[in-house]
């Protein structure tokens, strides 16, 4: 079904966008290269002969309409998503096509749910925010771990990254998020987002093999606190980050990711450990892989493939765990992620 279908990639020349373009081609789609910088788009097109270039700016709705004209879907890879998500979603709604983004920005994802839920549902289209390593993967793992449970008391998502060399996009998005919060921190407890000035604790987390017990920053809050509560009744959702990775992403002069293989992936490895608790019962899901930016591409492209082939459970704005069959989706990622469920 993917053969020949066109998918616009907005922000195609960015670090993650390049992975998405390559993976779309691997899956038989025809990417349409879109973004604000025409010179970077043409340079990328030189690397992918035959692909169409459609420059577009979020400040010019007509240009976005041209970028989405006649395509089957759009994947937004251009951050900060506080700036790009709403205009590209508006264009997708005008075009009547599904929208997927890779936003890790907590507030931008919350805005998407708040602003577009009714309109997307009424239009009968699908809008999937945070379909990425942060937000999407954690939601899928938590949903799969839940199994037949209809509710839980707590969900804990611990990120065991070997390192974190941030892209320019990650830095820009982080700066916007800090400004929106007025320098405060955010967490999800008692069923809602809370903003606070508390110091983040350093804890020990018992990761499975091969990491073992590692120091983590507690309440190092990621997009999972938006995606998971959007459809699962879990009043406490907490995320953790290994101290090595946390230190790297905030370091002012941290290097950008460096490719070490033919796929363009960095040497970074990850282990995502999800623990869901209900009373005295506990369930766990573990995912292992390489390069958080590279693995976002199969997540986003698999989402588009399932939407276009009708393998969805709802319409409107929905996170990965709500709109897709979580265990089946994760199984489809087996070439890129090693999965372990511990009921």
| Token reading at 151 | 């509710």
CA dihedral (286, 299, 174, 258) positive or negative: positive
Distances (CA, A) of 289 to 177, 238, 271, 279, 320: 27, 22, 7, 31, 19
Domain total of the chain: 2
Judged against a pLDDT cut of 80, whether residue 251 lies above it is answered with no
CATH number for the domain including 105?
A: 3.40.50.720
Mean pLDDT calculated for residue range 100-113? 97
- pLDDT tier, 46 (very low <50, low <70, confident <90, very high otherwise): very high
In this structure, the answer to whether residues 154 and 262 fall within a common structural domain is: yes
Supply the pLDDT for residue 168: 87
Supply the pLDDT for residue 3: 67
Q: Per the domain annotation, does 54 fall within a domain?
A: yes
Q: Give per-residue pLDDT as tens, 252-308.
A: 777 889 999 999 999 999 999 999 999 999 999 999 999 999 999 999 999 999 999
Higher-confidence residue: 169 or 39?
39
State which residues form the domain around 62: 6-131+296-327
CATH number for the domain including 265?
A: 3.30.360
Yes or no: say if 103 and 133 are a contact pair by the CB < 8 Å rule: no
Q: Give per-residue pLDDT as tens, 81-102.
A: 999 999 999 999 999 999 999 9
Yes or no: say if 143 and 234 are a contact pair by the CB < 8 Å rule: no
Supply the pLDDT for residue 228: 98
In this structure, the answer to whether residues 200 and 333 fall within a common structural domain is: yes
In this structure, the answer to whether residues 214 and 104 fall within a common structural domain is: no
Q: Per the domain annotation, does 1 fall within a domain?
A: no
What gap in Å lies between CA 37 and CA 294, rounded to an integer? Answer: 22
Judged against a pLDDT cut of 80, whether residue 320 lies above it is answered with yes
Yes or no: say if 164 and 248 are a contact pair by the CB < 8 Å rule: yes
Helix (H), strand (E) at residue 81: helix 81-95
Question: CB within 8 A of 67, min separation 6: which ones?
Answer: 8, 10, 32, 34, 54, 55, 56, 74, 91
């Amino acid at each position: 079904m993917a053969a020949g279908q066109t998918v616009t990639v907005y922000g195609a020349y960015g670090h993650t966008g390049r992975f998405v373009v390559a993976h779309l081609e691997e899956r038989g789609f025809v990417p349409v290269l879109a973004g604000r910088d025409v010179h970077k788009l043409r340079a990328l097109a030189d690397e992918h002969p035959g692909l169409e270039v459609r420059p577009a700016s979020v400040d010019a709705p007509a240009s976005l309409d041209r970028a989405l004209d006649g395509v089957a879907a759009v994947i937004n890879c251009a951050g900060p998503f506080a700036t790009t998500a709403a205009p590209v979603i508006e264009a997708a709604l005008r075009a009547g096509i599904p929208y997927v983004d890779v936003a890790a920005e907590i507030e931008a994802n919350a805005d998407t749910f708040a602003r577009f839920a009714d309109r997307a549902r009424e239009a009968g289209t699908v809008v999937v925010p945070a379909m990425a390593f942060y937000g999407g993967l954690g939601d899928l793992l938590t949903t799969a771990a839940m199994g037949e449970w209809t509710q839980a008391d707590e969900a804990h998502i611990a990120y065991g990254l070997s390192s974190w060399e941030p892209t320019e996009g990650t830095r820009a998005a982080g700066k916007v998020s800090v400004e929106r919060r007025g320098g405060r921190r955010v967490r999800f407890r008692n069923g809602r987002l809370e903003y606070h000035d508390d110091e983040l604790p350093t804890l020990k987390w018992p990761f499975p093999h091969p990491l073992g017990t590692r120091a983590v920053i507690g309440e190092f809050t990621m997009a999972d606190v938006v995606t998971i509560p959007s459809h699962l009744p879990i009043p406490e959702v907490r995320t953790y980050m290994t101290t090595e990775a946390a230190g790297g992403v905030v370091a002012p002069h941290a290097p950008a990711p460096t490719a070490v293989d033919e796929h363009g992936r960095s040497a970074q490895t990850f282990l995502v450990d999800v623990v869901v608790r209900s009373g005295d019962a506990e369930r766990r899901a573990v995912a292992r892989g390489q390069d958080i930016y590279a693995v976002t591409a199969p997540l986003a492209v698999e989402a588009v493939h399932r939407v276009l082939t009708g393998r969805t459970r709802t319409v409107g704005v929905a996170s990965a765990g709500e709109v897709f069959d979580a265990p089946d989706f994760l199984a489809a990622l087996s070439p890129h992620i090693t999965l372990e469920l511990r009921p």
